[in-house]
Amino acid sequence: MTHPLHLLGVDTGGTFTDFVYLKIAPLSTISATTGDQVTADVLIHKVLSTPQAPAQAILQGISEIGLKPLVQSGDLLLIHGSTVATNAALEGKGVKTLYVTNEGFADVLTIGRQQRQELYNLQPDPIKPPVPKELCVEVGCRLDAQGNNILPLTGIDIYKIQQAVAEHEPAAVAINLLFSFLNDADEKALEAVISDRTFTSRSSFVLPEYREYERGMATWLNAWLGPIVANYLNELCQVTTPCPVTVMQSSGGTIAAEQASNRAVNLLLSGPAGGLSAASFIGDLIEQDKLITFDMGGTSTDVALIDGKVKLTNEGKIANYSVAVPMVDMHTIGAGGGSIAYLDSGGMLQVGPVSAGADPGPACYGLGGENPTVTDANLILGHLPAATQLGGNLKLDVKAAKQAVATLVEAAGLATEEIAKGIIQLANEHMVNAIRVISVQKGYDPQEFTLCCFGGAGGLHVCAVADALGMTQAVVPVNSGVLSALGMLAAPRSRQLVHTYRKPFSQLTEKEVHQAFCRLKHNGIAELMAEGLLESELTLNAEVEMRYLGQSFTLAIPCNWQQPDLSAMSDAFHLAHQVHYGHQMASEVELVNLRLALKAPNVAIELPEIDIKPLTEAGFCHVHGVAGKVPVYQRVELGQGIIIQGPAIVCEQVATTYLAPGWQAEVDRFGNLQLNCQNN
């Protein structure tokens, strides 16, 4: 496949839509070190999102950048990441979904794994079930653990489904039958009797893997969010035709938009996965392979840990939902610049997870918003200068921000600035707790890592978050406000495939393992070839998930799928078990899951080096709690090697960085701000 010469990365967030355009040098321009194509032009842009019709913001950005002719000629490849699915899940705004399962299993998604959110709370708040009882439909068919029919699917079962669809008129139907990963005939038969007008999701397509709860939750999420994602992508493809569109998946690879419409659950970390890919790229540039990242946008914040490489997990969570499809190992919370502050019934200040979004947005946007938000608080405190124009053209209204926060002043009995300070502290604490989940709770010491912040609001909170975690190093990447969009341009087209194949090693042959991998390979290659790729371009990496008989959890072991060696796989598992758990067992080893990753080559990205020039101040502003005037710098004017002492503010087109007292920033040769705490 020939790489296109014009690439546009687009990250649609809850508040802003970000753009990074790359014009690739002609094929005759070859990198002396890598032999790959190198970038010739880079252009960034940001516009307010349009939540009711997200494609409108994309079209607006394309027009303002001047790329309409490339779209109309089909010479532009649009690589898209979106938090549309993420935000819908966080805010509980999925569609009405009918859940179909076997008799006696309607409560599986409600019961879950019976894991308490608050272990020692004897009177926890009741948790709303994912699917209301009236939307759960049970059918009488049943398979055994080998995939053989015990009870056949009957006409009565089919009639029951048709009647439920007619009665409830759901926007989507999720089908999750026991052992469908071994035999999908019944699920396909039920899918066939549901109207094409109703989005249908079956577990044997979404996640052909054992564990009925995880498989059912993934299938329900795919259905619950599917119509929202499908409608969005269909609209986008219609208005950008003939320009090809690919979509970032949660696993860090891209997929054609036409195929992504049926895989909403695989897009839950679509935008954030792009940011993590770019953060890894930045880490390589600054020679830091141990990063804790936090991406703070308008609606949500995503945190992750990179220890040498980006990690994938099949035990992810979004809000309170388990998500077992492969995704970058990331923790997402409902805290962003647009998160709304309020007083709860006890008079305590709370922040989020509900967001003002882009319409009407924070009060300071001057678009009709009246609720106080984190962005309003940053503006009142001076962390965000009043003269700042977000995205380059959105002027901020300080008076409107103060009026919004003033709604809390009388009830709280505090000054406006103190309320704003409390809002910021609460938002910071939410992010700090999220970072502890992916670091401290997994045995990592945050102080051994560099904090990498991005997203439009990340730079405003980076120093405070680092201080709370005892971290002394941080980096604000160049173009940090649109870093997720940048990362999408480097992402390869890929698939992460899984299939349960449970069998003790004593009953397993190398031939059948090879054949099972070949079936996975066939499915993945068919999808990627449908996107115009050649089989010869693809690289394949296989893993087998194994455990001792009787165990509940597995360990992933790399495997040569073409020539599986059962003895080598067993030895590798014993060693891995020793490393992870400190011991080995004499029990027999069992194969559980096969995993196959298919990846196409990606375009190499090279950032230009910035010039060396003297430091010039753009102005001054007042920051609450800081004596004297605080210097304000324009990031585009900062030359290589410049050192800035906090307190200071660095403004740019797509983000703002607040350098707190006691912190120092140095501009590296690529324009990244490398921060160091001077208080130690």
What are 311-365's pLDDT values in tens digits?
888 888 777 788 989 888 888 888 888 899 998 888 888 998 888 877 788 999 8
Label residue 271 by pLDDT band (50, 70, 90): confident
Give the number of other CB atoms < 10 A from CB of residue 386: 16
The amino acid at residue 6 is H
Residues 4-28 have a mean pLDDT of 77
Residue 657 and residue 631 in contact, taking contact as beta carbons nearer than 8 Å: no
Q: What is the pLDDT of residues 179-190, one digit of tens each?
A: 999 999 999 999
Dist. CA 237–CA 258, nearest whole Å: 8
Dist. CA 600–CA 504, nearest whole Å: 34
Of 32, 617, 655, 620, nearest to 382 by C-alpha is 620
**Which residues are bridge partners to 318 per DSSP?**
321
The amino acid at residue 157 is D
Of 194, 158, 202, 195, nearest to 176 by C-alpha is 202
Alpha carbons within 13 A on the beta-carbon side of 579: 9
CA dihedral 241, 242, 248, 254 (to 10 degrees): 150
Per the prediction, the chain carries an average pLDDT of 88
CB neighbours of 5 closer than 8 A, spacing ≥ 6?
A: 23, 24, 26, 75
Encode 665-677: b = buried (16+ Cβ within 10 Å), e = exposed. Answer: bebbbbbbbbbeb
The token pair at 666 is 């140095």
CB neighbours of 253 closer than 8 A, spacing ≥ 6?
A: 491, 492, 493, 494, 495, 496, 599
Axis crossing angle, helix 374-381 with helix 416-438, rounded to the nearest 10:
120
Axis crossing angle, helix 458-469 with helix 416-438, rounded to the nearest 10:
70
Among 115-129, 261-275, 617-631, the range scoring the smallest mean pLDDT is 115-129
Tell me which DSSP letter residue 615 carries: -
pLDDT at 13 over 50: yes
Among 394-398, 503-507, 572-576, the range scoring the smallest mean pLDDT is 394-398
40 vs 238, residue with greater confidence: 238
Q: What is the pLDDT of residues 272-299, one digit of tens each?
A: 788 888 888 889 889 999 999 988 888 7
Strand residue runs (E) in 401-520 = 450-454, 473-476, 494-504
15 vs 655, residue with greater confidence: 655
Label residue 646 by pLDDT band (50, 70, 90): confident
- Give φ, ψ of 78 to 5 degrees: -95, 120
pLDDT at 675 over 80: yes
Residue 232 and residue 247 in contact, taking contact as beta carbons nearer than 8 Å: no
| pTM for the whole structure | 0.80
pLDDT at 387 (0 to 100)? 82
Label residue 409 by pLDDT band (50, 70, 90): confident
Taking CA atoms, 647 is separated from 428, 567, 654, 664, in Å, by 18, 61, 21, 9
The token pair at 51 is 């939540």
Give me the domains of the chain, ranges plus CATH numbers: 6-89+230-267 (3.30.420.40), 92-228 (3.40.50), 494-599 (no CATH), 619-677 (no CATH)
Dist. CA 284–CA 306, nearest whole Å: 11
pLDDT at 36 (0 to 100)? 40
pLDDT at 511 over 80: yes
SS3 state at 355:
strand
pLDDT at 33 (0 to 100)? 34
Q: What is the pLDDT of residues 132-168, one digit of tens each?
A: 999 999 999 999 999 999 999 999 999 999 999 999 9
Angle at 420 between CA 417 and CA 424, to 5 degrees: 135
Residues 512-540 have a mean pLDDT of 90
pLDDT at 27 over 70: no
pLDDT at 25 (0 to 100)? 57
Dist. CA 67–CA 244, nearest whole Å: 14
The amino acid at residue 295 is D
Axis crossing angle, helix 416-438 with helix 398-412, rounded to the nearest 10:
90
Q: What is the pLDDT of residues 560-601, one digit of tens each?
A: 999 999 999 999 999 999 998 999 999 999 999 999 999 988
Q: Which of 257-266, 401-410, 657-666 has the highest mean pLDDT?
A: 657-666
pLDDT at 198 over 60: yes
Label residue 32 by pLDDT band (50, 70, 90): very low
Q: What is the pLDDT of residues 320-335, one digit of tens each?
A: 788 989 888 888 888 8
Q: What is the pLDDT of residues 100-131, one digit of tens each?
A: 999 999 999 998 887 777 778 888 888 788 99
